Amino acid sequence: MVIVVGNPANTNCLTASKSAPSIPKENFSCLTRLDHNRAKAQIALKLGVISDDVKNVIIWGNHSSTQYPDVNHAKVKLQGKEVGVYEALKDDSWLKGEFITTVQQRGAAVIKARKLSSAMSAAKAICDHVRDIWFGTPEGEFVSMGIVSDGNSYGIPDDLLYSFPVTIKDKTWKVVEGLPINDFSREKMDLTAKELAEEKETAFEFLASA
């Protein structure tokens, strides 16, 4: 398994995969778990629960400020019952506005506040990512991971390294299929895919001339 963390993580991961054709491209992934963990934490803070009580948030796309943190399918445990996040929060404008921008810009905000990057948070996210590859995801739970987009059912172009919701079993990831995508999500998912396609083009032009 090859896990890429250095930015631009998605495009670096795609480039690494192309440069090592003898390694199956399914063995390459990039870290969007830090964004995933941040999204869970924002929801938990808002609801006054712990982060582990929130599951099935999704980070779609690029590990950049165009990423789309999606909680349409997320659940939270409240008083022993699992409830949809939208239903639990009853604050659609926050979920479609400030929540998204906070997660998208969290890395920059941490650097601005600390004058240092969020190294421990990234290290924790790498541990989470590797643990789930090794031991699998819990039943009924999915996580976010940047993986090759080939053959996905969400209308994302092939040959990008895009963050999807995945389940993992026997050290093999599988994209979660059949999640309904509303118009708001579609627009955000396409926007981050467009950025990744542009990044890929720039990177490959540079490599071709190097």
- Residue 110's pLDDT band, with cuts at 50, 70 and 90, is low
- Residue 120's pLDDT band, with cuts at 50, 70 and 90, is confident
pLDDT at 108: 60
pLDDT, mean of residues 164-186: 97
* Cβ contact 62:163 at 8 Å: yes
pLDDT, mean of residues 193-201: 97
pLDDT at 207: 85
Q: Which residues contact 108 (CB under 8 A, 6 or more apart)?
A: 65
Q: Is the pLDDT of residue 113 over 80?
A: no
pLDDT at 210: 67
- Residue 107's pLDDT band, with cuts at 50, 70 and 90, is low
Dihedral sign from CA coordinates of 33, 89, 106, 201: positive
Among 7-21, 31-45, 109-123, 160-174, the least confident range: 109-123
Q: ∠ at Cα 27 (105, 169), nearest 5°?
A: 90
* Cβ contact 203:13 at 8 Å: no
pLDDT, mean of residues 173-196: 98
**Residues labelled catalytic:** 63
DSSP SS3 for 149: coil
Four-point Cα dihedral 88, 90, 96, 101, nearest 10: -70
Q: What is the pTM of this model?
A: 0.94
Q: Which residues contact 175 (CB under 8 A, 6 or more apart)?
A: 147, 152, 153, 154, 164, 165, 166
pLDDT, mean of residues 181-208: 96
Across the chain, mean pLDDT equals 94
